[in-house]
Amino acid sequence: MSVCKINIKRYILPIVMIMSQPLFVHAESLVYEGSGGVGEGKHIVFVAGDHEYRSEESLPALARILAKHHGFQCTVLFNIDPDSGEIVAGKPSNIPGMEALDTADLAVVFLRFQNLPAEQMEHFDAYLKRGGPVVGMRTSTHAFQIPEGQPFAKYSFQSKDSSYPLGFGHQVLGQTWVGHYGRNHVQSTRIETVDAMKQHPILRGVKDVWVQAGGYVGKPTDGDILTMAQPLDGMTPDSSPSATQPPMPSEWTRTYQSDSGEEGRVFTSLYGTPEDLTNEGYRRLMINGIFWALGLEDSVTPELNVALVGPFKPNTFGNQKHARGIKPEAYAGFESPIPAHNDVPK
């Protein structure tokens, strides 16, 4: 009788490697693996899905900084066209890979008017129920627009649910959608620190903050206001301040009470286009805010590395003026350009 000898190691190793891979990794998501640094062992999930302000460029850029310089594992999720697998801006409301939030230590959200499938929203809902910290950017004050009667309608920015009025923006970020304050592409914005808050960890090393996005009305319900935004009559840092628009709150911290009883830290910024991230002061403000939300404020120094990673030449923001034909894998690694190209609708 012949005996067939099998090299068990040859087969076990690939099986173990497959089983050890994170189950949340989708073709439609992007993962930057950091190593070493204060972020080692911590997982940040970035959720991009707005129509106008190029969250699909801003969030990969922030994720790279945090993974490369500070060691975090960063997962980036996008609005994806289910037919083509390409990144889209805001619609359709489809963000595969939301189960990444199940293992997240922080969620960074840049969303607008999303009505995600219930099987995707349930992971977001579970994350908030456990009191996970949140960083919300720009349009996330009106992250969801979900019709009444649907599951998770309470998160809608106009929610009439008596237990959760005005939805995610109001209940978690501290403000629902109020309105524009400056004119996009005509008025840029200077952001200045509040004198009484200059010792706050998020403001360490932050200076000369100028962003290209027009102002939003800032009316946080509570928390600590860190910065004030002054609309400028022009699109350069030295443009004159508007004589008719006094400064408005632009960044603040607060906490929210979760169903689990845990309090979640929140850092909200009313800005965040990729063009805003070309300003070192604003990048530092965001990276410091992410560290603070994670409870890592003791690691924030004025010299914290916030340098961009890889080529970064952002597209000018505009409604549905995103770069077409790009899949998440185009942004794999630390040296691929963000965005993948600058051929956008005029």
Per-residue confidence in pLDDT tens, the chain, 346 aa: 333 333 333 333 333 333 333 333 456 689 999 988 999 999 999 999 999 999 999 999 999 999 999 999 999 999 999 999 999 999 999 999 999 999 999 999 999 999 999 999 999 999 999 999 999 999 999 999 999 999 999 999 999 999 999 999 999 999 999 999 999 999 999 999 999 999 999 999 999 999 999 999 999 999 999 999 999 999 999 999 999 999 999 999 999 999 999 999 999 999 999 999 999 999 999 999 999 999 999 999 999 999 999 999 999 999 999 999 999 999 999 999 999 999 998 7
Q: Which of 165, 155, 166 is nearest to 125 (CA)?
A: 155
In a domain, 240, yes or no: no
Q: Which of 81, 146, 37, 58 is nearest to 331 (CA)?
A: 58
Q: Which DSSP category does 96 fall into?
A: T
CATH of the domain at 85: 3.40.50
In a domain, 218, yes or no: no
In a domain, 194, yes or no: no
In a domain, 340, yes or no: no
Which structural domain range is residue 147 located in?
A: 25-178+250-331
Q: What is the pLDDT of residue 35?
A: 85
The C-alpha atoms of residue 190 and residue 26 are separated, in whole angstroms, by 39
| Residue at token pair 């998501």 | 29
In a domain, 57, yes or no: yes
Q: What is the pLDDT of residue 346?
A: 79
In a domain, 116, yes or no: yes
330: its two tokens: 């185009």
Count up the domains in the chain and report the number.
1
In a domain, 294, yes or no: yes
Residue 295 CA, chain-centre distance (Å), reads 17
Asked whether the beta carbons of 49 and 112 are under 8 A apart, the reply is: yes
Q: What is the pLDDT of residue 260?
A: 93
CA distances from 106 to 201, 262, 264, 274, 293 (A): 18, 14, 10, 21, 8
In a domain, 96, yes or no: yes
The C-alpha atoms of residue 44 and residue 290 are separated, in whole angstroms, by 9
Asked whether the beta carbons of 214 and 184 are under 8 A apart, the reply is: yes
33-71 as b/e: b if 16+ CB within 10 A:
ebeebbbeebbbbbbbbbbbbbbbbbbbbbbbbbbbbbb
Q: What are the beta bridge partners of residue 48?
A: 110
Q: What is the pLDDT of residue 29?
A: 80
Asked whether the beta carbons of 289 and 254 are under 8 A apart, the reply is: no
